[in-house]
């Protein structure tokens, strides 16, 4: 069995951003999921109730593509 490490008490900090953050890049690790994603993919966060309905990304894409066929087409569509 794994031993549980003692937890540190959480410090109470205001819910605001600091003016500056320092990041130690020597401790950074490569993204272990980078090889799984395609360059043209876009990550989207789903709300928990929506994520419960769709088990895979493919299911989400299938429903969105079906919905796209019902939408009116727009001229001059811009991409971000």
Asked whether 54 and 46 are in contact (CB, 8 A), the reply is yes
Does 66 reside within a domain? yes
In a domain, 60, yes or no: yes
Q: Assess if residue 1 is contained within a domain.
A: no
The verdict on residue 63 lying in a domain is yes
Cβ neighbour number for residue 63 with a 10 Å cutoff: 12
Domain assignment present for 23: no
Q: Within 13 Å and on the Cβ side, how many CA atoms surround 30?
A: 4
DSSP codes, 31-50: -TTGGGS-TT----PPPHHH
Is 25 within a domain?
no
- In this structure, of 6-10, 21-25, 48-52, 74-78, the range with the lowest mean pLDDT score is 74-78
Domain-located, residue 55: yes
How many domains in the chain?
Answer: 1
Domain containing 58: what range? 39-71
| Span 26-76, pLDDT tens digits | 999 988 888 887 788 888 889 999 999 998 889 999 999 999 999 988 766
């Amino acid at each position: 069995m794994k031993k549980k490490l003692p937890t540190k008490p959480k410090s109470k900090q205001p819910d605001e951003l600091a003016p500056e953050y320092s990041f130690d890049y020597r401790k950074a690790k490569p993204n272990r999921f980078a090889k799984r994603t395609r360059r043209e993919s876009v990550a989207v966060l789903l709300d928990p109730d929506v994520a419960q309905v769709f088990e895979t990304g493919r299911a989400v894409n299938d429903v969105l593509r079906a919905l796209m066929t019902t939408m009116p087409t727009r001229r001059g569509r811009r991409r971000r």
